[in-house]
Structure 1
Amino acid sequence: LAAAEDAALHLQRALVAEPGRPHPNLEIAGGYLPAGPRALVGGDWFETVRLHFGRSLLVVGDVMGHGLDAAVDMNAYRTALREVAATDLPPHRVLRHLDSVVAEDDARRPATVLLARVDPARGTATFASAGHLPPAVFGADGSAELVDLPVGPPLGTGVGGYEPTTRPLRPGDTLLVFTDGLVERRGEDIDDSLARLAALRLPSDSGPAQVVDEVLRRLGAHGAEDDVAVLAARIRARPAP
């Protein structure tokens, strides 16, 4: 069992250590915390996929269950998602395609996934969610806002029903996507957990690395009962002409 835990943990750390290579116009930072020193590893991951026209796709996902099997399934989801995302389909259609593929494999565990396609040239982010918690946007003043978006079923049901939401991403805004281990606490309603995140006030003009560090610290994520994966991104300011 210990060997399986170690294998899963090493696999997972390797997968989130290098979250793809976004365009240089996007500044990113990520963090991953396993649940306790000997807890079974889950299927959390994050990454970025470089797209055409200066855009980048941010991904955060959580395969249901724990242990080596969940980590292996997570790797399979990650590989499939990269292949589909490379076709440059909009985020909700990426989820629809993945859902239909995964639903044909009875052995594959369901997973929640959130996609965010950031378009720096337009200053927008387009989201699609498969059963995942909403992202947050921290403004230049340090205040937080949860993104209101429709939530489809987790991947693997074959039901589909994923819809896109687009919102502005202003200069100085930092987008934060995360798995439920960041906010969920035993015996607490998830709405209260998300409200605690939305109530955070960070130092003004916090960049991605500071947002990740502050959120993990202030929400007590280092003592969470579940794995935590977070990814933050901010559009780089264009140099003045």
Structure 2
Amino acid sequence: MAEQDEALLARVRAMEQAIGEIGTTLDETNTCRELATFLVRRLGGSVVVDLAAEQGVPPRRAATARLSSESYPSGSTLSAALAVAEDGKPLGTVTATRSGGVPFTAEEAATVHHAARLAARHIGHARRLAATEDTALHLQRALVAEPGRPHPNLEIAGGYLPAGVRTLVGGDWFETVRLHFGRSLLVVGDVMGHGLDAAVDMNAYRTVLREVAATDLPPHRVLRHLDSVVAEDDARRPATCLLVRVDPARSTATFANAGHLPPAVFGADGSAALVDLPVGPPLGTGVGGYEPTTLPLTPAETLLLFTDGLVERRGEDIDVSLARLAALRLPPDPGPHQVVDEVLRRLGAHRAEDDVAVLAARVRARPTA
């Protein structure tokens, strides 16, 4: 009876050790390495872990481990399937080999099967989470990457980066709306907060904005109308928004700002300058008070609209953050695509703590006779 108790206690200890050492990250290859290392320490010999691939493709060797005194000879071999508990489909196999013909005991076999099941659960969870994140990210990018088409006389480029893999979706967006007489409305907005609720509100803002902008109201009146509509719905989160109506025929841009950061203009020499604009309250407050500002915008200049994730850094004053953007010097004559790529790279936007949405635009030069 004492021997049975001791064996049961040893099995429990092995299970506790496996739980603490296998599946410490969401990386399936690392989980396989942890599985192999754990089993080698418990059993000796050598252990290999193979992950199944799609049908017709050989399994992938994900991890190997062995004692320094062991080679890969033939001997006692024990295999266990890495099976997913939900549907029973094998993710792969773990194979333990011990030279000298020393057989594995029942307790050792139980340890291998328990560790394999534990690793399989972690791998299955990681894959399901990765699939969910991939779906959410594609949804977010589809929402922000399919703006309306501006007139052909305006060249644009946009980009969106999520705030890391755990955030999934957010409330940043950009938009373009084609207006009468060759003009186009450029929009960038940021709904407060993150997650699915922010993304839903973001899509609602875009929908209302498209309807209001289609009436061809000036930008400040578009903001005023959008603010009043959203303020009537208490469930909607506030949002910042910047509108720019570009008129290529007159080489002008008319701005209206609802609590958003100012845009930047890159000149033909690659230098940047922030646009000084009056700032009204965020959308959804019902306060209104938006003012228009009309400035020249020539074909030699590229306008950049962006959300705060591009420049803001934790613990840093926003003026310092904006000054970093204004200090950029790009190669001469940067077009919209180059501006987007260079700004995202130079400001480290891929490591930003918040969502990043950017929209760059340049008036196409008229062909000379």
Whole-Å separation in 1 of the counterparts to 2:235 and 2:157: 33
Query: What is the Cα deviation at residue 218 of structure 1?
Result: 0.5
- 1:183 maps to 311
Give the structure with the larger helix fraction: 2
Q: Is the 8 A contact 2:167 2:194 kept in 1?
A: no
Q: Deviations over 1:178-226 (max 9, x none)?
A: 0000000001000000000001010000100000000000000010000
Query: What is the Cα deviation at residue 40 of structure 1?
Result: 4.0
Secondary structure of the residue aligned to 2:253 is: strand
Q: Deviations over 1:41-91 (max 9, x none)?
A: 220000100000000000000001111111011000000000000000000
Whole-Å separation in 2 of the counterparts to 1:230 and 1:208: 10
Query: What is the Cα deviation at residue 38 of structure 1?
Result: 2.1
Unaligned stretches of 5+ in structure 1?
none
Query: What is the Cα deviation at residue 36 of structure 1?
Result: 1.1
Query: What is the Cα deviation at residue 171 of structure 1?
Result: 2.1
Q: Is the 8 A contact 2:306 2:356 kept in 1?
A: yes
- 2:359 maps to 231
- Judged with a 3 Å threshold, the aligned counterparts in structure 2 of structure 1 residues 16 and 190 are, in CA distance, closer, same or farther, namely same
Q: Is the 8 A contact 2:133 2:165 kept in 1?
A: no
Q: Is the 8 A contact 1:177 1:232 kept in 2?
A: yes
Q: Is the 8 A contact 1:8 1:71 kept in 2?
A: no
- Judged with a 3 Å threshold, the aligned counterparts in structure 2 of structure 1 residues 79 and 3 are, in CA distance, closer, same or farther, namely farther
- Judged with a 3 Å threshold, the aligned counterparts in structure 2 of structure 1 residues 2 and 72 are, in CA distance, closer, same or farther, namely farther
Q: Is the 8 A contact 2:337 2:360 kept in 1?
A: yes
Secondary structure of the residue aligned to 1:6 is: helix
Q: Is the 8 A contact 2:175 2:186 kept in 1?
A: yes
2:219 corresponds to 1:91: yes
Whole-Å separation in 2 of the counterparts to 1:240 and 1:130: 38
- Judged with a 3 Å threshold, the aligned counterparts in structure 2 of structure 1 residues 8 and 93 are, in CA distance, closer, same or farther, namely farther
Q: Provide the aligned C-alpha RMSD in A.
A: 1.4
Q: Deviations over 1:10-45 (max 9, x none)?
A: 332111222210000000000000111222422000
Q: Is the 8 A contact 1:114 1:128 kept in 2?
A: yes
- Judged with a 3 Å threshold, the aligned counterparts in structure 2 of structure 1 residues 132 and 17 are, in CA distance, closer, same or farther, namely same
Whole-Å separation in 2 of the counterparts to 1:68 and 1:110: 15
Secondary structure of the residue aligned to 2:175 is: strand
Secondary structure of the residue aligned to 2:182 is: coil
Q: Which moved further from structure 2: 11-20 or 225-234?
A: 11-20
Query: What is the Cα deviation at residue 2 of structure 1?
Result: 7.7
Whole-Å separation in 2 of the counterparts to 1:5 and 1:132: 28
Q: Which moved further from structure 2: 224-233 or 14-23?
A: 14-23
Query: What is the Cα deviation at residue 173 of structure 1?
Result: 0.2
Q: 1:200 aligns with which of 328, 341, 347?
A: 328
Query: What is the Cα deviation at residue 5 of structure 1?
Result: 5.5
Whole-Å separation in 1 of the counterparts to 2:344 and 2:231: 34
Whole-Å separation in 1 of the counterparts to 2:222 and 2:209: 8
Whole-Å separation in 2 of the counterparts to 1:60 and 1:171: 21
Q: Is the 8 A contact 2:237 2:284 kept in 1?
A: yes
- Judged with a 3 Å threshold, the aligned counterparts in structure 2 of structure 1 residues 16 and 172 are, in CA distance, closer, same or farther, namely same
Query: What is the Cα deviation at residue 240 of structure 1?
Result: 1.0
Unaligned stretches of 5+ in structure 2?
1-128
TM-score normalised according to structure 2 size: 0.64
Q: Is the 8 A contact 2:155 2:361 kept in 1?
A: yes
Whole-Å separation in 2 of the counterparts to 1:167 and 1:85: 20
Q: Which moved further from structure 2: 21-30 or 163-172?
A: 163-172
- Judged with a 3 Å threshold, the aligned counterparts in structure 2 of structure 1 residues 154 and 6 are, in CA distance, closer, same or farther, namely farther
- Judged with a 3 Å threshold, the aligned counterparts in structure 2 of structure 1 residues 114 and 76 are, in CA distance, closer, same or farther, namely same
Query: What is the Cα deviation at residue 3 of structure 1?
Result: 7.9
Query: What is the Cα deviation at residue 7 of structure 1?
Result: 5.5
Identical pairs, percent: 90
- Count of aligned pairs between the two proteins: 241
Equivalent positions of 1:207-218 (< 5 A) are: 207-218=335-346
Whole-Å separation in 1 of the counterparts to 2:136 and 2:233: 22
Whole-Å separation in 2 of the counterparts to 1:230 and 1:126: 18
